[in-house]
Amino acid sequence: MGGRRLAHLRKGVATGLCLLAALVPALSPAPARAQSAPMTLIRDTEIEETLRLYSQPLFTAAGVESNSIRILLIGSKDLNAFAGPGVMAVFTGLILETQSPNELQGVIAHEVAHLAGGHSARSGEMSQAGLRPFLLTMGLGVLAALAGNVEAGAVLASNAGFFGTLGAMGYSREQESRADQAGASYLEAAGLSGRGLVNFFDNFRYQEVFAEARRFGYFRSHPLSSSRIDALRARVEGLSNYNAPDDPENVRRHEIMKAKLQGFLNPGVAIVKCADPKADYPARYACAIAQYQLKEPDRALKLIDALLLEQPDNPYLWELKGQI
C-alpha cells in the first residue's frame, strides 16, 4: 500500500463513508476463504449510528455491555457477519440483502448470542487453527483503528487479514441452534419480532437445496438446514412480539443506510433512479452520492442542495456536501 493511498484514507476518515484498510488480503489458514471477495473496513458515522441503534437493545437483552463491543462495517459483496472478542462485524453485502430492519436485527441478535455465549472464543476450530492469540492481536488492531490511529489500524488489518479469517470461522451445529434460540429470546426481550430472522434464513433456504449456500460466507460459517429454520420458526411464532411491527424510525434508517451503500458501492445501480424527481429521500440521497462517485460533482451538489432545502439540519448532508 503506497503512501498516496494512506494519505487518501486519512483524508477520508474525517468526512463521509471511508475505506479504512483497503483490500485486506486473505490469510492462509482457513480453507473456505479462497473464494472470499475483497474486504475493506468502512467508517461512516451515519451507518455506524444506525447499526449501534439496532444492536443496543439486543446487547442489553443479552447482558452484554454495549460499550465493550466495537461494531465494524465491512465493505464486501460477501453476505456475512461475525462476532469475536469485543467485536461484531456486519458486511455491506449482508445489509443490502436485508429487506427490513427486523431482518438485520435478527441477524445481529444471532451474532450477539454467539458473542454472549463465547462461541467463537471456545470453538474447537479456532484453537486448532491457533487463532486465539491471533484474535487478541486483532482486537488491538481494531481498537487502534477506531481510536483514530488510522494508519496503525490499517496496517494491522491488512497484515492480519483477520476479517477473512473470522468471517470464515465455522460454528458447530449445536452452537448455531443455541445462538438461534438465544437470539430469539433477546429479540423478544427487546420488544422485537423474531420473524425477520426466520424470513432472512428462509430467503436463502433454496440455496442449500441447490448446494449454493456456500457462495455466501454467512452460510458457510452458519450452516443452514431446514430443521434449523423450522425449530427457529416454531419458537418465534410462539413469542408475544411475533407480530410487532418495525419502528418507523428504524425503517427510515434502514432505507437510508441501504441507499447510501448503494450510492457509494454500486453507483451505476443507484443512478438509474436519478431520473425520477419525485423519488423519495433515500433514492435521491443515493443519486447524489452516486453522481459524486461517478465524478459528477456539479450534479451531486445540485441534488444535495435540493435535499438540504428539505432538511437544513441534517448533518450528514452537510458532511457529504463538504466532502464533495
Query: Which parts of this chain interact with Zn ion (CB under 5 A)?
Result: 171, 176, 179, 222
Cβ proximity to Zn ion: between 144 and 179 the closer is: 179
Separation of alpha carbons 24 and 14, rounded Å: 21
CB of 119 to Zn ion, least distance (A): 8
Cβ proximity to Zn ion: between 80 and 293 the closer is: 80
CB of 210 to Zn ion, least distance (A): 21
Angle between helices 248-265 and 45-62 (to 10 degrees): 130
* Strands ordered across the beta sheet of 18-19: 18-19, 40-43, 70-75, 87-91, 81-84
Angle between helices 281-293 and 315-323 (to 10 degrees): 20
Residues 114 and 108: beta-carbon distance below 8 Å: no
Residues 99 and 199: beta-carbon distance below 8 Å: yes
CB of 66 to Zn ion, least distance (A): 20
Q: How far apart are the first and last CA of the chain?
A: 25
Q: Is 118 helix (H, G, I), strand (E, B) or coil?
A: coil
CB of 199 to Zn ion, least distance (A): 17
Name the closest residue to Zn ion (Cβ).
Answer: 222
Cβ proximity to Zn ion: between 171 and 204 the closer is: 171
Cβ proximity to Zn ion: between 82 and 316 the closer is: 82
Query: CB 58: neighbour CB atoms within 10 A?
Result: 27
Cβ proximity to Zn ion: between 232 and 287 the closer is: 232
CB of 107 to Zn ion, least distance (A): 9
